[in-house]
């Protein structure tokens, strides 16, 4: 790999994020993706960050506070499968990016993990939230019990969605138990001049 998958995820999501936009970190963890999204969207943007563990939300809140980004983010303690009910109808089809980092919370109880069933529901909800040209990023870790099965479930979901016209790319770590990054771009529709001005030039996808 030319760069860590976490950094590659940010690199590929970044062009979709515009000022005054909306984004979701559906598995906040230690808050790295949340902070990235909040900083990129700017003061007028909105980020929803979700995690089932209170410890994760506390770490995310602290990271945001230290970076001066706390006001841009709404935190919710919930299972990521509940993403659909945590957003209002106004968010449907209007979200720039949804990011998921699957597995367990680093430095915490490794028995608390995401599961294929939870993640499939979260992906379904994310697909409904994305605007035309919006991006879904999923980093699936395979080194824990059930991780390989979950990564396969994500790949299957991505393949089905890509058949509908979405653009899907996958990048896997060299190790069989290493992470897999899936990035899917919603089919692009017409954009206003203002929307185009808010976004950078598209970056190449990994081959």
Per the prediction, the chain carries an average pLDDT of 88
Q: How confident is the model at residue 194 (pLDDT cuts 50, 70, 90)?
A: very low
Q: Which domains does the chain have, with CATH numbers?
A: 5-188 (3.40.50.150)
Phi-psi region of 92 (alpha: psi -120 to 50; beta: other; left: phi over 0): beta
Distance separating alpha carbons of residues 72 and 162, to the nearest angstrom: 32
User: To which residue do tokens 């003061």 refer?
Assistant: 43
Q: Would you call 56 exposed, middle or buried from its count of C-beta atoms within 10 A (0-12, 13-18, 19+)?
A: buried
pLDDT per position as a tens digit, 43-57:
999 999 999 999 999
pLDDT band at 5 (very low <50, low <70, confident <90, very high): very high
């Amino acid at each position: 790999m030319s760069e860590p998958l976490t950094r590659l995820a940010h690199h590929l999501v970044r062009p979709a994020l515009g000022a005054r936009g909306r984004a979701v970190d559906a598995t906040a963890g230690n808050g790295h993706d949340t902070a990235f999204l909040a900083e990129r969207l700017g003061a007028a943007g909105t980020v929803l960050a979700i995690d089932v563990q209170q410890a994760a939300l506390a770490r995310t809140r602290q990271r945001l506070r230290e970076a001066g980004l706390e006001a841009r983010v709404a935190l919710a303690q919930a299972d990521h499968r509940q993403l659909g009910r945590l957003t209002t109808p106004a968010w449907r089809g209007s979200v720039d990016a949804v990011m998921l980092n699957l597995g367990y919370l680093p430095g915490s109880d490794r028995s608390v993990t995401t599961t294929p069933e939870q993640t499939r529901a979260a992906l379904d909800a994310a697909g409904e939230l994305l605007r035309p040209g919006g991006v879904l990023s999923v980093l699936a870790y395979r080194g824990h019990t059930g991780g390989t099965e979950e990564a396969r479930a994500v790949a299957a979901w991505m393949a089905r969605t890509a058949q509908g016209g979405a653009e899907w790319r996958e990048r896997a770590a060299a190790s069989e138990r290493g992470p897999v990054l899936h990035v899917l771009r919603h089919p692009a529709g017409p954009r206003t001049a203002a929307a185009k001005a808010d976004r950078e030039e598209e970056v190449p996808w990994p081959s």
